[in-house]
Amino acid sequence: MRPFGFEMPAGECQTDPYDSHIERRLSSLSGQFFNQGEYENLLRNGDPVVYEVRSMERPEQEGELSFGLSIVHPGRVGDEYYMTKGHFHQVRETAEIYHCLRGIGALLMESGDGDWALEEFRPGRVVYVVPGWAHRSINLSEQEDLVTFFVYPSHAGHDYATIESRGFRKLVLHEAGGYKLADNPRWSRAGAECHV
Amino acid sequence: MRPFGFEMPAGECQTDPYDSHIERRLSSLSGQFFNQGEYENLLRNGDPVVYEVRSMERPEQEGELSFGLSIVHPGRVGDEYYMTKGHFHQVRETAEIYHCLRGIGALLMESGDGDWALEEFRPGRVVYVVPGWAHRSINLSEQEDLVTFFVYPSHAGHDYATIESRGFRKLVLHEAGGYKLADNPRWSRAGAECHV
């Protein structure tokens, strides 16, 4: 295995030379958006791509780094912005770095016991997800993609199930001139603690 | 320890909010440049800053990621471009990622047994240093800083001594209209093999 270099096209986002390209459509985010009625309405009119991940796969072993681009498209389900599924790492004690290349957004984070944090994304801004925190990217723009470059230890693995079942504690909702945070009524501390 | 975000100022490179700022002056690169006479000449006229590293220090443990900016200033010692010291990781089986934000340059890499690779840096270009390869950043511009964002596993550690004693196998030298690679006459395979 030799070193390699490649272009990271923040602007155009063509696939090459990434060796993995995942498209997540609205239907794959079942149960994640608060306004379930609006979610079903939107699905009846099609199944838009909410976000894409273009990544360079590395061996899933300690010392390797996995990296790529996350592209969250603009849109909303009711008042709730388009977002990624969000996940913990399977190996909890692993960090992740996000570097915003384009767009306006936020990274919503949550620890195993329900502490939470929100960090904004603007071009040039870096967010460090300390080990043990789940993370979800949210596009706060009405028009523009949110593009971030991510790096995480390749042995981290992904745990989507915990967030699928309990959600995040906070919702990030549109309001005139900005966004607001609201409590997620479906979230429960009990649901959190059983995953600590 | 909670997640955090901050600006990564590729343009201005002010220190905040990095918690470590290293300046490497020409005198700290003793023995690294091929043209020793010219090196000593330059030192007699001052001791310029060749490169800077602004980084966010993390606990040196598995699962954490260390990251920051490397800024190599433009300049030459004879025909040889300004460059970083270059290093292996103490824990050999750890990778590193470089993402070029500004400038024109290259990452010169070398494995323990003397295989070598050169990858160019241009804004938007990413270079993946697979585990086990030493790496040195080189500024190929006559006027502009080379600015790269780096990420590596925090437990990797730095081994500068191996490169200080054996150098890199290849030299990257200026020539009209570009650059050329030359063999480093001071490098020896024996010197390499004893560090495998």
> What ranges do the domains of chain B cover?
20-193
Query: Hey, what's the torsion of the CAs at A25, A27, A31, A33, to 10 degrees?
Result: 50
State the ipTM, two decimals. Answer: 0.89
- The predicted structure's pLDDT at residue B7: 66
Q: Do B124 and A10 touch (CB under 8 A)?
A: yes
Residues of chain B with pLDDT under 50: 15, 194-196
Q: What is the pLDDT of residue A106?
A: 96
For residue B137, the number of C-alpha atoms closer than 13 Å in the C-beta half-sphere is 32
Closest CA–CA distance from residue B5 to any residue of chain A (Å): 4
Instruction: Give residue B47's pLDDT.
Output: 96
Residues of chain B neighbouring A63 (CB-CB closer than 8 A): 91, 93-95, 131, 153, 156
pLDDT for the residue numbered A121: 93
Percentage with pLDDT > 70 across chain A = 89
Confidence tier at A11 by pLDDT (50, 70, 90): low
The answer for residues whose C-beta is within 8 angstroms of residue B33's C-beta and 6 or more apart is B39, B77, B78, B80
The residue with tokens 């001052």 is B46
Helix %, strand %, coil % for chain A, to 5?
10, 45, 45
- The partner residue sitting opposite B7, judged by closest CB among A97, A124, A151, is A124
pLDDT at B115: 93
* pLDDT tens readout for residues A127-152: 999 999 999 999 999 999 999 999 99
pLDDT in tens, A93-119: 999 999 999 999 999 999 999 999 999
pLDDT at B196: 39
Closest alpha carbon to A87 in A170, A189, A156, A140: A156
Give the nearest partner residue to B120 out of A5, A67, A153, using CB atoms: A5
- The sign of the CA dihedral B125, A74, A14, A1 is positive
Residue keyed to tokens 């390209």: A21
At A17 the pLDDT is: 64
Lowest-confidence range among A9-18, A79-88, A144-153?
A: A9-18
B147 touches B100 (CB < 8 A): yes
Tell which phi-psi region holds residue A39, choosing left (phi > 0), alpha (psi between -120 and 50) or beta.
Answer: alpha
pLDDT band at A163 (very low <50, low <70, confident <90, very high): very high
pLDDT for A21: 87
Spatial contact of A49 and A80, defined as CB atoms under 8 Å apart:
no
Contact B18, B55 (CB under 8 A): yes
What is the phi/psi pair of residue A172, to 5°? -110, 115
Q: Which amino acid is at B26?
A: L
**Looking at domain B20-193, does it have CATH number 2.60.120.10?**
yes
Chain A: closest CA distance from residue B140 (Å)? 17
Q: What is the mean pLDDT of chain A?
A: 89
pLDDT surpassing 60 at residue A154? yes
Distance, in angstroms, between A5 CA and closest chain B CA? 4
Chain CA centroid to CA B125, Å: 16
Q: Residue B177's pLDDT is what?
A: 87
Instruction: Report DSSP state, residue B122.
Output: -
Task: Record the pTM.
Answer: 0.91
pLDDT digits (tens, 9 = 90+) for B142-155: 999 999 999 999 99
Q: How far apart are CA B2 and CA B114, in angstroms?
A: 42
